[in-house]
Amino acid sequence: MKQLDYIVVGLGIAGISFCEQLKANNRSFIVFDDASQKSSTVAGGLYNPVVLKRFTAVWKSEAQLDLALPMYANLEEELQVKLDYKIPVYRKFASLEEQNNWFSASDNPSLARFLSPTIVKNSNPYIDAPFGFGEVLHTGRIDVRTMIEAYKLDLRKSGVLVEGSFTYETLQMESDKMQYKGFQASHIVFSEGFGVTKNPYFKDLPLNPAKGELLVIYAPELNMEFVLKAGVFLIPLEDDRYIVGATYEWKELTNTVSDKAKNTLLDKLKKLIDCPFEVVNQLAGVRPTVKDRRPLVGRHDIHKHMYVLNGLGTRGVMIGPYVAKQLYEYIEHSQPLEMDIDIARFKL
């Protein structure tokens, strides 16, 4: 029986963020992952501290970025891959009224760091934006797919990744330990994304999952070097490719792509750009969103060495490191969780 500090189940953004906490604090762990959850690997990966629909600050955005960006920089160095692409986000204005609302928001002290007060004029002949754009500062894109693939490879080399389904009925719980398939650990953390709905210990949490789909297009004439938000996000990749996303579907919760989502995205895209393009890929995944748009973090009511780290929603690359640190400090140092993220908020 191999003795460990932690068992981690799931290796998306949440799982990686928590593993980074464990590595930074010299805790031993094993990860179980079956690659069944696709929300992290199909994520656009944007970190953007502003809710562009309403020109308001994202919850805890400064604190999140202060933790997230150093973590991704550290991962780039450790894994020898490029992950963090610094790129501005432009919000297309639909009217003079939206311009004025932007100016008002940029005067707000909580947003002044992130909103440029200067209107960016449109110089791209293939984009319809007569009222110009507002520029969000301190933004970028994390290549989540590359991060997960490289992280898995690193864990395989270290012998701490077991690939395959986690069978809950095999888990044995003692007063101060967990046993599972030859491993004994002091704590177990479930970071399974939408897969938590099949977890007998946490399946009753109020997850409000939303399927999201995105397209990847090839548009060699567009020459756009910023992220554009206007009904959809248009995110530049390398080699004249762009991500177009994303959709929300609340009923058909599968990882299968659909013509309905494709047509919805294409209709919005064609209203935004006017140049030849080709759809080269379509991806789908189910986001683990929560009804109050806050993560699900905390300890099981009965099993005191069992924890959940889930519900990162659409801003996982920003919030993942923040909540992972909170959970680690809660487990190891009894630091209380913020009530906004503690699963106890649903039992009050």
pLDDT of 176 reads 84
How far apart CA 42 and CA 142 sit, in angstroms, is: 12
For residue 231, pLDDT beyond 90: no
Quote the mean pLDDT of the chain.
93
Weakest-pLDDT range from 18-27, 32-41, 46-55, 84-93:
32-41
Task: Please give the average per-residue pLDDT across 38-48, as a whole number.
Answer: 79
pLDDT of 314 reads 82
Q: How far is CA 84 from CA 41, 154, 279, in A?
A: 15, 18, 25
Q: Which of 297, 340, 311 is nearest to 210 (CA)?
A: 311
Give every CB contact of residue 2 below 8 A, 6+ residues apart in sequence.
30, 182, 183, 184
Unique residue bearing structure tokens 């179980």: 32
69, 62 in Cβ contact below 8 A?
Answer: no
Per-residue model confidence as pLDDT tens digits over 251-267? 888 889 999 999 999 99
Per-residue model confidence as pLDDT tens digits over 150-189? 999 999 999 999 999 999 999 999 888 999 999 999 999 9
For residue 348, pLDDT beyond 70: no
180, 6 in Cβ contact below 8 A?
Answer: no
Task: Please give the average per-residue pLDDT across 238-247, as a whole number.
Answer: 94
